[in-house]
Amino acid sequence: MVVTWTTFNKTESEVEYGPAGAPLFEMSAKGDATVFVDSGEEKRKMFIHRVTLTNLKPAATYVYHCGSDDGWSDVFFFTALNDSSSFSPRFALYGDLGNENPQSLARLQKEAQQGLYDAILHIGDFAYDMHEDNARIGDEFMRQIQSVAAYVPYMTCPGNHEATYNFSNYRNRFSMPGQTESLWYSWNLGSAHIISFSTEVYFYLQFGLELLFKQYEWLKRDLEEANRPENRAERPWIITMGHRPMYCSDDDQDDCNVFFVDEWLHTHFHRVCFTGVDVELWAHEHTYERLWPVYGDKVHNGSLEKPYVNPKAPVHIITGSAGCRERTDRFNPNPKAWSAFRSTDYGYSRMHVVNATHLYLEQVSDDQDGKVIDNIWVVKEKHGFSAWS
């Protein structure tokens, strides 16, 4: 488990921790701090601390605080992730959460501390925006999500609102697996292989084409490895998360028009993602939308009566209505045939990877006091490209 925090002075990087129920802080680990200088006018400097806790007992709860003898944080707790492929992890999913109008945050804070989730997936767009006011908005936002991210692994991908100064606030503030400054990576939990990637490398070409090609080659290799028979047998579900959706039906300028969709459909990216991916998670649109199984702009349901039982294409979920200053979006009144359910309520999604064949998804409406307004079971008796032939 990696613990990340920020100070405005140079200090030591230390975490003191121990199993819940034991005397506090029997164990300690030290790490390093990197200097982050924001590119705003004030060139504010901060120290980003990272400490890795190793040899944790899977599924055990630990109590910890972080800091140094110059000052310590509050006391928090977390549960070390279960490393069994038969584990049934539960996730909260959302994107587009701001520090102003963070409508869903209070409910997420409570549920995270109640232990409802094993991990959070924040699918791009943070704070609105982290670089603003010489990165003070970023500081404020990180303090806001502390009451979630200090208790549960907080997994991220970049969105368009992180683009200023070449995504520098995002690259420096988060600590995802791999060596890509959190831009793309993959990890395993339970029976799922989860891939996070940057849709933004296709849009911010002024930062160079290198990232686009590097990510593509990495994604190809990662999917090839995940689809090896022995790996697919252990982690049959392949789930991706990226900020901008391939499909959507919002009435939001050019985000969801035919040109945008066709541009995606005919790139190598969509073809690669068809290589055995079961569920694709998106945000960017400030709404919730569930699609029928879709590929090539065509619906590929498992059957008319049971569309999500042995579907013949990936299942797409768009969940970008957690709450931000830009409010929610409106829908196009005439969606395409692949649009199955839509809501403009503020809210977030939940996902439960139950076992090798069953995955449950639901949408929570914060406007309706936490009511579940949509839910599906995705059932796959066989995974991989052969399941769609």
What mean pLDDT, rounded, does the chain reach?
Answer: 94
Helix (H) or strand (E) run with residue 230 in it: helix 229-234
Q: Is the confidence at residue 267, as pLDDT, over 60? A: no
pLDDT at res. 254: 61
> Domains in the chain, please, with CATH?
1-80 (2.60.40.380), 86-387 (3.60.21.10)
Pick from 156, 87, 107, 92: which is nearest to 350 by CA? 92
* Residue that wins the pLDDT comparison between 269 and 103: 103
Q: What's the order of all strands across the beta sheet hosting 119-123?
A: 154-157, 119-123, 90-94, 347-353, 358-365, 371-379
Q: Whole-model pTM?
A: 0.96
pLDDT at res. 384: 87
Query: How far apart, in Å, are the Cα atoms of 147 and each of 59, 274, 294?
Result: 20, 37, 37
pLDDT at res. 275: 72
pLDDT at res. 260: 46
Give the lowest-confidence range in 25-29, 154-158, 186-190, 247-251: 247-251
* Dihedral sign computed on CA atoms, order 79, 82, 87, 92: positive
Count of CA atoms in the C-beta half-sphere (13 A) of 10: 2
pLDDT at res. 224: 93
Query: Letter for the amino acid at 186?
Result: S
Average pLDDT rounded to a whole number, residues 40-47? 98
Q: Is the confidence at residue 389, as pLDDT, over 90? A: no
